[in-house]
Amino acid sequence: MYRIGELATLCKIKTDTLRFYDKQGLFVPSSRTESGYRLYTKKDAQRLRFILRAKTIGFTLVEISELLSIELDKSNKACADVKSLVDLKLADISQKIEQLHYFKNALQQLSSDCCGGPESAQHCSILEALESTSSAKNRTNNGHHQAHSHATK
Amino acid sequence: MYRIGELATLCKIKTDTLRFYDKQGLFVPSSRTESGYRLYTKKDAQRLRFILRAKTIGFTLVEISELLSIELDKSNKACADVKSLVDLKLADISQKIEQLHYFKNALQQLSSDCCGGPESAQHCSILEALESTSSAKNRTNNGHHQAHSHATK
DNA sequence: ATAAACCTTAGACTTAAATCAAAGGTAAAG
DNA sequence: CTTTACCTTTGATTTAAGTCTAAGGTTTAT
């Protein structure tokens, strides 16, 4: 059993945030002491980590609530409901992953094209990199612009 | 050349947002008419799409500015600077991708474990799914709890 | 048994990212 | 030549997600 301060330091957030999540109904402690202190179990901690993870990926607190409500409502919902909600979120996530790969490619190209030296970064541009990655995707070969366009200027 | 309203409808955002981005210096139109109307080029539109993409992935406007500034400052910065900034962002993105895969796995397990029928979703839980995916990752074999915990309880 | 470190609540404040509103300039269509 | 749809600016309001403040109760250590 953790008290609010312990859980907060454990997860590197503020007690305020935990109270806020409690008030929002997003993350409610399993129990309280007689005097009203919040008490969190290991399972709660796991749930919190889930929430924090979800946040870093760009889910809003409301979306996270939705995801978690799958657990909380489990006995009140039909499998079919759960499945369709989950599949919705899955599509969402898959798209995010796709977008991230797109960015990653662009940045990687940027990084590898870049000599890394003290010269002026004349041709270092994300948009240039994006152009070439998207052309690598869309067109088979239209490249008047062969990869290492930079390096010696 | 697009005017603000055209670009807005094209990208499904509000003109207010475009003016806001302009004021923030995040996305400034290439030119203005004599009477002060903002004029955006195709290249601007591309840049805007980049910004909107970045937003859906969870980058803040400040982070996006940073990314784009790689382009804008290019002749003022050394390649070494650009490279280190890019590599930082790359690490960031890689982590996000990892987290998303973690979520995706969990949800996929949830979805496939789920019968999808009209029965009560007693054992459908994201956290259960996460437990099994994270135990698959972290521990080599500490499992008194072998994968398909669901289905027949 | 009292100080120090923690906890409680309610409510005000902050920041990011818009979104809205007011007051007025512009341009094309009737 | 005036209406209508757009544009301009400045400034206020909204929403999400905290963060801080004040006033007070609880626990542990001395």
Token pair for residue A145?
């612009």
Residue type, A146: Q
Residues of B in contact with A87 (CB under 8 A): 111
Q: Is pLDDT of B131 > 60? A: no
Q: Identify the residue whose tokens are 């609530």.
A: A65
Each residue's pLDDT tens digit, B46-58: 889 989 988 888 8
* Half-sphere exposure in the Cβ direction for A128 (13 Å, CA): 21
Distance from CA of B65 to the nearest CA of A (A): 12
Residues of B in contact with A70 (CB under 8 A): 110, 121, 124-126
Residue B117 touches partner A, C-beta closer than 8 Å: yes
pLDDT of res. B106: 82
A91 vs B111, residue with greater confidence: A91
A3 vs B85, residue with greater confidence: A3
Q: Identify from B79, B88, B89, B102 which residue to disrupt to test chain A contact, counting A C-beta atoms within 10 A and taking the largest count.
A: B79
Residue nearest to nucleotide C19 (CA to C1'): B16
Q: Is pLDDT of A132 > 90? A: no
Each residue's pLDDT tens digit, A14-30: 999 999 999 999 999 99
From A87-91, B46-50, B104-108, B142-146, the region with the lowest mean pLDDT: B142-146
Three-state DSSP at B107 gives helix
Work out the number of other CB atoms within 10 angstroms of the CB of residue A7.
Answer: 22
On whether the CB atoms of residues A100 and B96 are closer than 8 A, the answer is: yes
Cβ neighbours of residue A147 under 8 Å, at least 6 residues apart? Answer: A109, A113, A132
* All domains of chain B in start order, with CATH: 1-76 (1.10.1660.10), 86-153 (no CATH)
List C-alpha distances in Å: A15 to A42, A47, A52, A144, B68. Answer: 17, 16, 14, 57, 35
Q: Is pLDDT of A53 > 50? A: yes
Mean predicted lDDT score pLDDT of chain A: 75
pLDDT average, residue stretch B40-48: 91
> What HEC string does A3-47 produce?
EHHHHHHHHCCCHHHHHHHHHHCCCCCCEECCCCCEEECHHHHHH
Task: Kindly state the percentage of chain B with pLDDT values over 90.
Answer: 28
B78 vs B140, residue with greater confidence: B78
Q: Is pLDDT of B136 > 60? A: no
Token pair for residue A3?
């008290």
pLDDT average, residue stretch B65-76: 69
CA separation for the pair A112, A147 (Å, rounded): 9
pLDDT of res. A6: 93
CB burial of residue B113 (10 Å; 0-12, 13-18, 19+): buried
pLDDT of res. B126: 59
Q: How confident is the model at residue B16 (pLDDT cuts 50, 70, 90)?
A: very high
Residue B137 touches partner A, C-beta closer than 8 Å: no
B63 vs B74, residue with greater confidence: B63
pLDDT of res. A130: 59
A38 vs A70, residue with greater confidence: A38
B42 vs B134, residue with greater confidence: B42
pLDDT average, residue stretch B50-68: 86
B4-11 and B15-24 are packed helices; what angle lies between their axes, rounded to 10 degrees? 110
List C-alpha distances in Å: A31 to A45, A65, A150, B1. Answer: 13, 19, 61, 61
Q: Identify the residue whose tokens are 């993105």.
A: B93
